[in-house]
A and B are shown apart, each in its own frame.
Chain A
Amino acid sequence: MLFSLSLIGYYLSTTTYIIFFVTQKKKIRSAARCLLFGAGILHTVTIISRYFLAGHTPLTTHFDTVSFFAWSMTWAFLSFRWRYQVKNFGTFVSIVISALMTIAALSSQTIAELPPALQSAWLPVHASIAIIADGFMAMGFCSGLMYLLQERELKKKRFGVFYSRLPSLEALDNLIQHCLTVGFPLLTLGIITGSLWAKQAWGAYWHWDPKETWSLITWFLYAAMLHQRFIAGWRGKRAAILAIIGFIAILFTLWGVTFLLPGVHSYVR
């Protein structure tokens, strides 16, 4: 029930953001932002109530994971928004949030018994950090996409819907950078806490189970991206494309691995 309410809240906010994107009326944007904020709060309440319902941190089912993904993206966006403003960023972000929420809504909401291996204080720490990192990377994906759209119009010299609505390339490039500089340390921390937990639960830091492998691949992708940026000046279009590829890797780690490659993480369904 609570979940459905927040889902509706997100849909309304996304619709309003799209209307703002078309009309560019400031009042509509404030409305969209308020709706998103409201939906975010409802969603927080949803997650807390799931916690009491399940008796443990609700991050072990597919439904909970994706829902928490959307939640972290919402609050990552709102926290960014509080610090500085990027024109029409909200439209893109809210679409992704709504998409995630839809996927969550389509999966089973039944609460599974917690396997003994997962009964640990590490569960909330590891899972939430890893997913919050994903939230920031998802924002990086949105800014990368916006960069490519704006860049394309500037290069082709044909100015359509995006030219006037999207911010400058430099602003978007900075935005990608910001998302990655927050997301990457979190991603690193997620992997470290995971391996500490693995040591405690299974006796070894690393098992090379598919989820771990793919997290590592994703981590290397982002690490290479940041490294190249500082050393060789990989910025602009290339950074934008990499931010998008990185996000695809994250999605694969989240879903591809779970559904295609079974391993110790496979209870997250």
Chain B
Amino acid sequence: MSVDSILVLGVNHKTAPVEVREQLAFTSDPERPFKKLKEIPGCSEFCFLSTCNRVEVIFTSPHQMETIRSIKKFLFATSNINEDDIDNFIYLHRGADAITHLYRVAASLDSMVVGEPQILGQLKDAYRNSADRECTGVVLNRLLHKAFSVAKRIRTETNIGGSAVSISYAAVELAKKIFGKLEGKKVLLVGAGEMAELAAEHLVNQGISEVIVANRTLERAVNLAKRFNGKAVGLTELHTQMELVDIMVSSTGASGLILHQEDVKPIMKQRKNRPLFLIDIAVPRDLDPKLNDLDNVYLYDVDDLSQVVEGNKAEREQEAQQAERIVTEETLKFLQWIEDMQLTPTIAALRLKADTIAKAELAKTISHCSNLGARDIKSIEKMTGAILNKILHDPILFLKEGHNHEDKQLKLDFVRKIFGLDLEAEKEE
């Protein structure tokens, strides 16, 4: 088993536009990819991964050209793309590159938003699906488990997933720094625009228990409130509602401020100074910037949030560099394992060959000599064994020595050729 028989073939958001990717979607029949891939000759182990940003097959194969062509055909079977154009959209990684690629995918270094953690879960599901159908073997089992642990290592040793890189995530992160857990907290949406909806969605996903929508036209408020099982109120009720909620997201189209510092002061008294997190994503702004000066009121406008995001992005890039180092390191470790896998069978093959020759020759010689006793035969056998051991000692030592990866590959190749080990195997096949 050589490293180069590990391959990754697929498309992702970097190599293919969404128009192409959507044609490869394997949503209709979840069994089909496994059935089809199993039929491909030479595809000995595989794992099939399909997400909205990527479709890829991780596989091992001895007869590569043929298998690669078949997998390409399988991937693009449902699309209207010309066979000649396929190569423009796909990537094919082999050996160490394939391992690195898989590690990068698992650690979310290859994702659209670097560091978003969903991909690891998707990869785990993909692996489970493939393993359940007995599509994976020794190499891929180990490789994928390694990929998961590399991803985990990167997550714990770097801060790659640590900070928010979108405005709504930044808002959620800040809310968590103010309130701790968001369970049981209430959010008030002022204005029923798209941004408000997005922010609310993130907040609800994080456990916010109640959504209240206040809008100039009650109808839109009702519609949006329905989405989150919340309640709708008129804008006139703004002040009374503010006494009850913990977070307020404002995104009205008003031309001036809708809430002043003087309005909120008495409200804070009513709230018994429970913290109030105000998010102003409207341009022009809805909320008086001076609100931030009130005790226990935290006001963030769009610019503040973008600043948080920008800072986080820069930080993430730095973390990503550290993560790439870990990937390189782990790839080398895996190559080492594959090498050791190769070393042991090579030594075994070497011994086997020598033993077979010796046994055959012994049998021939003994059949010619009739006057040998049992003890003599034993002695001759012993001597042959000793000769073999002494002759093989140096080649085996030669194989085991040295740590350089390329050296080892060359040595293995060399020894296998000198002793014709691969010829035997091919004959047997």
Give every chain A residue within 8 A of B308 (Cβ-Cβ).
157, 159
Q: How would residues 296 to 315 of chain B score, 1 for a CB under 8 Å from any chain A CB and 0 otherwise?
A: 10101000100110010000
Is the Cβ of B177 less than 8 Å from the Cβ of A234?
no
Do the beta carbons of B180 and A233 come within 8 Å of each other?
A: no
Q: Does A164 contact B (CB under 8 A)?
A: yes
Q: Which of B179, B296, B298 has the most CB of A within 10 A?
A: B296
With both chains docked as a complex, state the minimum distance between the C-beta of A20 and any C-beta of chain B, in angstroms.
14
- Pick the residue among A157, A159, A164, A237 that contacts B295 (CB under 8 A): A237
Q: Is B271 an interface residue (CB 8 A)?
A: yes
* Cα distance, A157 to B272, chains bound together (Å): 24
Known contacts A169-B275, A233-B272, A159 near B311 by CB under 8 Å: yes
The 8 A CB mask of A153-185 against B (1 = contact, 0 = none) is: 011010100011001111100000000000000
Q: What is the bound-complex CA distance between A150 and B298, given in angstroms? A: 12
What CA separation (Å) do A150 and B311 show in the bound complex?
Answer: 18
Chain B residues within an 8 Å CB radius of A154: 174, 177-178, 298
Bound Cα distance from A234 to B300, whole angstroms:
23
* Total number of residue pairs linking A and B with CB closer than 8 Å: 52
Q: Does B193 contact A (CB under 8 A)?
A: no
Across the interface, do A168 and B274 meet the contact criterion of CB distance under 8 Å?
Answer: no
A235 at the interface (CB under 8 A from B): yes
Complex Cα spacing A233 to B174, Å: 23
Chain A positions within 8 Å of B174 at CB level:
154
Q: Which of A155, A163, A167, A234 interacts with B273 by CB under 8 Å?
A: A234
List residues of B (165-211) whose CB comes within 8 Å of A's CBs: 174, 176-180
Distance of A171 Cα from B296 Cα, bound (Å): 14
Q: Does A232 make an interface contact (CB < 8 A)?
A: yes
Contacts of B163 in A (CB 8 A): 164
Q: In whole angstroms, what is the CA distance A168 to B296 when docked?
A: 13
Distance in angstroms from B107 CB to nearest chain A CB is 19
In the assembled complex, B162 has its CB within 8 A of some CB on chain A:
yes
Partner of B162, one of A150, A164, A235: A164
B272 touches A236 (CB 8 A): no
Q: Looking at A169, A237, A238, which has the most chain B CB atoms within 10 Å of its CB?
A: A169
Complex CA gap A238/B296 in Å reads: 9
A237 touching B300 by the CB < 8 A rule? no
Could you tell me the distance in whole angstroms from the C-beta of B103 to the nearest C-beta in chain A?
Answer: 22
Give the residue of A150, A164, A169, A235 whose beta carbon is less than 8 angstroms from that of B272: A235
Whether B292 is near chain A, meaning CB under 8 Å from some CB there, is yes
Structural contact, B178 and A169, CB atoms closer than 8 A: yes
Query: In the complex the two chains form, is B275's CB within 8 Å of A233's CB?
Result: no
Number of interface residues of A (CB under 8 A): 19
Q: Which B residues are CB-close (under 8 A) to A163?
A: 177
Q: Using a CB-CB cutoff of 8 Å, which residues 220-273 of chain B contact chain A?
A: 269, 271-273
- Asked whether, in the complex, the Cβ of B295 is within 8 Å of the Cβ of A169, the reply is no
Docked pose: A172 CA to B302 CA in angstroms? 27
Contact A168 B179 (CB under 8 A): yes
Taken residue by residue from 266 to 286, chain B's Cβ proximity to chain A (1 for < 8 Å, 0 otherwise) reads as: 000101111100000000000
Instruction: Pick the contact of B274: A150, A155, A167, A233 (CB < 8 A).
Output: A233
User: Residue B178 contacts which of A164, A168, A233 (CB distance < 8 angstroms)?
Assistant: A168
A159 to B271, CA, bound (A): 27
Nearest B-chain residue to A232, judged by Cβ: B272
B307 vs chain A, min Cβ distance (A): 7
| Minimum CB distance partner of A172 in chain B | B180
Instruction: Say whether A235 contacts B180, CB under 8 Å.
Output: no
Choose among B177, B180, B296, B300 the residue that contacts A236 (Cβ–Cβ < 8 A). Answer: B296
| Distance in angstroms between the alpha carbons of A170 and B183 in the assembled complex | 13
Q: Is the CB of A238 within 8 A of B295?
A: yes
Contact check, B273 vs A235: say whether CB atoms are below 8 A apart.
yes
Q: Is the CB of B292 within 8 A of A168?
A: no
Alpha-carbon distance between A234 and B274 when the two chains are bound, in angstroms: 9
Q: How far is the CB of A78 from chain B (nearest CB, A)?
A: 23
**Interface hits, A99-115 → B, CB 8 Å:** none
Contact of B307 among A157, A168, A235 (CB under 8 A): A157
Residues of B within 8 A of A164 (CB): 162-163
CB pair B177 A169 closer than 8 Å = yes
**Given A155-B292, A155-B298, A157-B307, A168 and B177 contact (CB-CB distance below 8 Å):** yes
**In whole angstroms, what is the CA distance A236 to B273 when docked?**
8
Closest beta carbon of chain B to A251's beta carbon, Å: 26
Q: Smallest distance from the beta carbon of B280 to chain A beta carbons, Å?
A: 13
- Min CB distance A124 to B, Å, is 39
B177 close to A150 (CB less than 8 A)? yes
Q: Which residues of A contact B177 (CB under 8 A)?
A: 150, 154, 163, 168-169
Q: Smallest distance from the beta carbon of A27 to chain B beta carbons, Å?
A: 11
CB–CB B180/A170 < 8 A: yes
**Pair B274/A235 contact, Cβ less than 8 Å:** yes
Task: Tell me, in angstroms, the Cα distance from A153 to B103 when the chains sit together.
Answer: 36
Judge whether B180 and A167 touch: CB under 8 Å. Answer: yes
Q: Are A168 and B273 in contact (CB under 8 A)?
A: no
B178 x A170 contact (CB < 8 A): yes
In the complex, what residue of chain B is closest to A236 when comparing beta carbons? B296
- Distance in angstroms from A159 CB to nearest chain B CB is 7
Other than the given A164-B162, A171-B180, A233-B271, 13 more pairs (CB < 8 A) read: A155-B298, A157-B308, A163-B177, A164-B163, A167-B180, A168-B176, A170-B180, A233-B274, A235-B272, A235-B273, A235-B274, A236-B296, A237-B296
Can you list 19 A-B contacts (CB < 8 A)? A154-B174, A154-B177, A154-B178, A154-B298, A155-B292, A157-B300, A163-B177, A164-B163, A168-B177, A169-B178, A170-B180, A171-B180, A233-B273, A233-B274, A235-B273, A235-B296, A236-B273, A236-B296, A237-B296
Give the 6 A-B residue pairs with the shortest CB-CB distance, closest first: A233-B272, A168-B180, A233-B273, A236-B296, A170-B180, A171-B180
Point out residues on A near B: beta carbons under 8 Å. 150, 154-155, 157, 159, 163-164, 167-171, 232-238
